[in-house]
Structure 1
Amino acid sequence: NSKYLTAKAFDNRYGCALAVDVLNNLKQESIDINLVSGANVQEEVGLRGAKVAANKIKPDLALAVDVAVAYDTPGMSGQTSETAIGQGPVVIIMDASNIGHVGFTNHIKKIAKAHNIDIQLDSTPGGGTDAGSIHVA
């Protein structure tokens, strides 16, 4: 199937592959920023790698790339979220460790609209991403 991918351990390998793809696409661009990409360890057990990386790098802006749950997956009935496979990337606006910056979220929505990209907004009050450690660095 050329539309969907399925495999074990996409969390967080997909984010690493996406970061490599973005960096490859940007290497031909002239951008006036210092762009850093990282593949952090121990996200599932305390966001430890992101904590170290963020304290070392001290970013002005950070984007944590992770996977999201598609609640239209068989067996996921009764969930409160409405994110679904094939409906676009998910922007998590709040999780158990972070509330996303409203201005940055609005900027992502504006870019998506300008490029005709469907996005889904979600909150995951029971989980977290590396953003939880990055924003307090």
Structure 2
Amino acid sequence: MLINPTIEQHDEKRRDKMSQVSLTKGYWFFFEHEGNDISMFGSVWNGKENVSFNNEIVSSFRNLNKFKSEHSFSKNGHNYKVCTHMTNMLRGTLVVSLYCDDELLQTETLSQIGKDKPSKRFFSKTFLWFLVFGFAVGMLAGYFNLFG
């Protein structure tokens, strides 16, 4: 049994913390069905997706080259499906839907850039990360004389 280390079992404010998106924390979606917590995490940097049921990871894989993914699992006599769809790559808009026994229960949408998130700040942070990464790669290449 894999336990999702990023969720504390007895955190009463977990629901408020879950449905969020940021460059450093990734995408977090939270659903509830029949008193069970179902969460979906998606990494912005490496494409890792985890789906948890009551804090137990039930599905996990990397999704680097597809705009859609599907996580299926069975718990408590139900067949669940969590579907993701990146609808706008430039804005970082991700739509996640929860199905139970082929019936749509809930859909949530989060974006990196939205009304409450200024696009200048997003692009400044992204540019800074690429600048630091590029500098580090350049320094390593120079140190190990990879191109000389």
Both structures adopt the same fold (TM-score exceeding 0.5): no
Q: TM-score, normalised by structure 2?
A: 0.25
Structure with more helix by fraction: 1
Structure with more strand by fraction: 2
Q: TM-score, normalised by structure 1?
A: 0.26
Q: Relative contact order (C-alpha < 8 Å, sep 6+): which is higher?
A: 1
